[in-house]
Amino acid sequence: MSAILSPEEIERYGRHILLRDIGGQGQQKLKAAHILVIGAGGLGSPLIQFLAAAGVGEIGVIDNDEVSLSNLQRQVLHGTPDLGRLKVASARDAVQRLNPHVVLTPYAMRLDAGNARELIERYDIIADGSDNFATRYLVSDLCFHARRPLVTGAVGTFDGSLTTLRPFETQPDGKPNPTYRCLFPEPPPEGSVPTCEEAGVLGALTGMIGAMMALEVIREIVGFGEGLVGRLLLVDALHMRFETLSYGWDPANTLNGNPAPL
């Protein structure tokens, strides 16, 4: 796919091109980018929509689930006519309606240790909107080994979080950037954190976090502003509070930490 913008694309992305920190060159970078989105649900829906609207050239989407009625309170990429359809098929049609210049590549499968590495290595940046800890740790570990930037978000009932990981690179002081395991060394015990099916989730909150994930991906592609590497953005939707916590490299982490003495 050529990164040269057609006259129609120049008009479509005109408000981006006017931005000094994006411009024509930044928009061409977006068109040339290949992004893998994990999950086409509450976080994936707004994430995919904004990446497509922004003109990202290819969006790979992996999800093996079908659209159900209880999804529609928050998974705004899908509509009532999509009930029973694979989410990746619904997402592909939605992106085609929104922006025919974008290719959505669907993967109607569950991400696991057997297929994750190959998928991750096909793409420039990974955006994880999955809803379980096993997938988050698998993806973050493989992104480290594949040297792929990872934007990862999560939501609870009325709270959300977001960070960006580039642990294969070093900081100005020579220390590695932190890994996901520096932030969360181990997953919580199984069953200790209720799922959204058990506890509920505020629909608009998934829209907020998913849109901010899209912003982080766009920032990573174009290279403007200060991203969230080494910073965890926390959103409290009950009190409409935003807080950013800094976190650093843990030399005891199992990915790029110091090896234990023999």
Higher-pLDDT residue of 197, 32: 32
Residue pair 218/137 in contact by the 8 Å Cβ criterion: no
Count of positions (residues) in the chain: 262
Q: pTM, whole model, 2 decimals?
A: 0.95
Q: Does the residue 98 lie in any domain?
A: yes
Chain mean pLDDT for the chain: 94
Secondary element (H or E) of residue 244:
strand 241-246
Residue 262 has a pLDDT of 35
Within the chain, where are the H helices?
7-12, 14-17, 23-32, 44-54, 87-98, 116-121, 133-146, 180-183, 196-199, 203-222
Tens of pLDDT, residues 218-244: 999 999 999 999 999 999 999 999 999
Q: Which residues contact 39 (CB under 8 A, 6 or more apart)?
A: 62, 63, 128, 129, 130, 131
Strand partners, 107: 62
Domain that holds residue 49: 33-246
Rounded to whole angstroms, the maximal C-alpha distance in the chain is: 63
CA 166 to chain centre: 14
Separation between Cα atoms, residue 241 and residue 130, nearest integer Å: 24
> CA separation (Å) from 242 to 164, 209, 235?
17, 12, 5
Q: Does the residue 15 lie in any domain?
A: no
Task: Tell me what percent of the residues of the chain surpass a pLDDT of 70.
Answer: 97
Q: Does the residue 9 lie in any domain?
A: no
Q: Where are the beta strands (DSSP E) in 56-118?
A: 58-62, 103-107
Separation between Cα atoms, residue 42 and residue 209, nearest integer Å: 9
Q: Does the residue 5 lie in any domain?
A: no
Q: Does the residue 254 lie in any domain?
A: no
Domain count, the chain: 1
Q: Does the residue 14 lie in any domain?
A: no
Tens of pLDDT, residues 14-27: 999 999 999 999 99
- Here the CATH number for the domain that contains residue 131 is 3.40.50.720
Residue pair 91/60 in contact by the 8 Å Cβ criterion: no
Tens of pLDDT, residues 172-214: 888 999 999 999 998 888 776 777 777 889 999 999 999 999 9
Separation between Cα atoms, residue 229 and residue 48, nearest integer Å: 21
pLDDT band at 92 (very low <50, low <70, confident <90, very high): very high
Q: Does the residue 4 lie in any domain?
A: no
Strand partners, 230: none
Residue 261 has pLDDT above 70, yes or no: no
Separation between Cα atoms, residue 196 and residue 206, nearest integer Å: 11
Residue 259 has a pLDDT of 63
Q: Does the residue 224 lie in any domain?
A: yes
Nearest residue to 218 via CA among 52, 98, 42: 52
